Amino acid sequence: MFVHLRQQLNEIIGQALRGLYDQDTQSPPLAGQAPVILIDFPADKQHGEFSCNIAMQLSRVLKKNPMTIAQDILPAVQTGLSASAIAPYIEKVQVKAPGFINFYVSLKGFHAVIEDVLKQKGRFGISQYGRGQKFCLEFVSANPTGPLTVAHGRQAAVGDSLVNILKAVGFDAQKEYYVNDEGNQINILGRCIEARVRQALGVDAAFPEDGYQGDYVRTIAQEFMRKQKIKTIADLDRQPAEAFRHFGADHLMAVIQKDLEDFDVHFDIWSYQSRIATTRAIEEVLADLKAKEFIYESEGALWFKSTLWGDDKDRVVRKSNGEYTYLMPDIVYHKDKFSRGFKRIVDILGPDHHGYISRIKAAAGALGKSPDDLDVVIVQLATIYRNGKPVSMSTRRGEFISLREVMEEVGKDAARFFFLMRQTNAPLEFDLELAKKESAENPVYYIQYAHARIHSIIRKAKEENRLAPKISGSSGLEAVEEIDLVRKIGSYPEILVTCAKQLEPFGLVRYLQELAGCFHKFYDACRVLDDDLNITCERLALIEGARIVLANGLRLLGVAAPEKM
RNA sequence: GCGCCUGUAGCUCAACUGGAUAGAGCAUCAGUCUACGGAACUGAGGGUUAGAGGUUCGACUCCUCUCAGGCGCGCCA
């Protein structure tokens, strides 16, 4: 509803401007230098529901005072408005200093918002903004060298919610996990497992210096011995060298997949480095890049000219010893992604990869795409706090809190919500005690409580045989708290679009907190189950609208909207 | 040394990407229920938006410099 009004107002203002200035010989024609018409939502409601700053923008072009321009435009806008279909929904138009044109929504307009929500229910907020554009989001993509940590947990929460939001606004978005089942890290894992097996057989085997210290490696070693029936050193020596790392990677991938399933993050595509970046594929891509002269040789190594796209320096793709660096198979992988028809690719990475951004964007350029077709979202670390103190973490030393531990301690809902409570690009403090607390300080409960409370009222209304939620338009919805709540409900679709544009689910989290706040304020000020049945019906409709939006929003975040708590 | 990010109320964070008097939650103090779930609500105090210039009708937002903090700068992944 609000989206619709906004678009209509935009057109009406456009018409008014064309009518006013195109035939005016004194003023230069606006064509070519006409500013874009923007309709904003004023922060302060005394300025109405929509405002337009076009008069200020025109001030420079027309060399006139913004106030006079606004006054000039106003009559034409009012004429255009009264002739349009949205006339009943706008109560008045006003010019205010320093030149804003403000639009005030009528009571009928607010009613229409609620009617719209009640009609669309679970689909309210869904739009076609993305026009079916194919989007690939790759995230988590943890190496199968250990269980998922809280850092991965935050990436999973961000990525999953982002895909949900993108889908809601009409993008064809997919979730992809890239499995680095080759390379140094996996080799180290293999050596660690082998060392643990030897130790279990009573041999004093050296553990790799940069190895994974966690106990889970011992568990994998035990499992390996059981499966391969290894009882002696002779049994062990019959194992091919790669058996350890294959077993370890398979085992840990199964662990990771289970972690993600339980976290309610379900990937559409699992891509394996071993299958995509084959020796042959690498050679083909390398030959292609060489032909385009994006590759040169120096000091026995092959370098990629990433500086052509603004990187600090060129990057080695093949070392002088003949091995490829991590970048080379990753270029092949991104080529593979583009070849699957995605218009935009988003890599969600940890903060330690931020030096990698310009490199991989350069790769997109070298592959014949625009570096802008590939976005990198950096998810900053989440530090776990217990009893007010940070818990130190290091995967290598085996000191870390796993995602599973957090999930089991605070529950999936609180965990997912907490991971999204700050802007993605800002570090996050995750307070375990707070997340477990069932009180007002805990934001996730604040929102869920609003939902449960509404449910409880509606349930009671039914039990007492009251009328169903309905907008009659004859009374009610006039109190400040009521209108504030409607206004908040109506802005939901725009919030989703903004989150999608910015690739930032945090905005939705904040919105839901505000929406819950608007509801609680309303609840305190206005009684729903009133003696006046008209008012009761309207207020039931209002809170049912709020409930629907709370449920829709929480669903996109992967957080439950309970009917009772 | 070079590059990126950050700096907003005592604390944790917002501010619709350049809009109107910079807002919430904690914490502090003072209040609110004979009724729909008190896991709630109302009010008060608290700010030179790190600092200094600049751009313009208008700056927390953009540009330059300074200060403070974080991260990245490998033929690692």
d(CA A326, CA A182): 10
E strands within A358-484?
A: 374-378, 382-386, 389-390, 428-431
Give the mean pLDDT of A280-298. 94
Predicted confidence at residue A303, as pLDDT, reads 94
A155-214 pLDDT per residue, tens: 999 999 999 999 999 999 999 999 999 888 898 999 999 999 999 998 888 888 888 888
* Any strand B atom closer than 7 Å to A299 CB: yes
Is pLDDT larger for residue A415 or for residue A26?
A415
A109-141 pLDDT per residue, tens: 999 999 999 999 999 999 999 999 999 999 999
8 A C-beta contact, residue A208 and residue A217: no
* Any strand B atom closer than 7 Å to A532 CB: no
Residue A343: CB atoms within 10 A of its CB come to 16
* Any strand B atom closer than 7 Å to A96 CB: yes
Report the nearest residue to nucleotide B2, CA vs C1'. A312
Q: For residue A540, which nucleotide's C1' is closest to its Cα?
A: B36
* Any strand B atom closer than 7 Å to A424 CB: no
* Any strand B atom closer than 7 Å to A446 CB: yes
* Any strand B atom closer than 7 Å to A307 CB: no
Q: For residue A318, which nucleotide's C1' is closest to its Cα?
A: B75
d(CA A486, CA A2): 11
* Any strand B atom closer than 7 Å to A560 CB: no
Flag residues 226-245 of A with CB < 7 Å from strand B.
none
Predicted confidence at residue A467, as pLDDT, reads 64
Q: How far is the CA of A257 from the C1' of B10 (A)?
A: 44
A461-479 pLDDT per residue, tens: 888 766 666 666 555 677 8
CATH class of A134-178+266-378: alpha beta
Flag residues 188-227 of A with CB < 7 Å from strand B.
none
For residue A41, name the pLDDT band (cuts at 50, 70, 90). confident
A416-466 pLDDT per residue, tens: 999 999 888 888 888 888 888 777 678 888 899 999 999 999 998 888 766
Predicted confidence at residue A199, as pLDDT, reads 93
- How confident is the prediction for chain A on average, in pLDDT? 88
Whole-model pTM over 0.90: yes
Buried b (16+ CB within 10 A) or exposed e, A499-525: bbeebbbbbbbbbbbebbbbbbebbee
A370-402 pLDDT per residue, tens: 888 898 888 888 888 887 777 765 555 555 788
Q: Which SS3 state, helix, strand or coil, does residue A301 take?
A: strand
Domain boundaries, chain A: 2-105, 119-132+183-265+400-428+438-565, 134-178+266-378
* Distance between first and last Cα of chain A: 32
Predicted confidence at residue A442, as pLDDT, reads 83
Question: Which CATH number applies to A119-132+183-265+400-428+438-565?
Answer: 1.10.730.10
Predicted confidence at residue A499, as pLDDT, reads 92
Report the nearest residue to nucleotide B19, CA vs C1'. A53
* Any strand B atom closer than 7 Å to A487 CB: no
Q: How far is the CA of A137 from the C1' of B69 (A)?
A: 32
Predicted confidence at residue A33, as pLDDT, reads 58
- The proportion of chain A whose per-residue pLDDT surpasses 70, expressed as a percent, equals 93
Strand B positions within 7 A of protein Cβ atoms: 2-6, 12-17, 19-21, 24-27, 35-42, 56-58, 71-77
Give the mean pLDDT of A24-46. 67
d(CA A512, CA A122): 16
Q: Name the range with the highest mean pLDDT among A8-22, A377-391, A532-546.
A: A532-546
d(CA A453, CA A440): 14
A237-251 pLDDT per residue, tens: 899 988 999 999 999
CATH class of A2-105: alpha beta
Predicted confidence at residue A205, as pLDDT, reads 85
pLDDT surpasses 60 at A28: no
Amino acid identity of residue A141, one-letter, is S
Predicted confidence at residue A25, as pLDDT, reads 42
Predicted confidence at residue A395, as pLDDT, reads 52
d(CA A253, CA A251): 6
ipTM score over 0.90, yes or no: yes
* Any strand B atom closer than 7 Å to A354 CB: yes
Report the nearest residue to nucleotide B27, CA vs C1'. A441
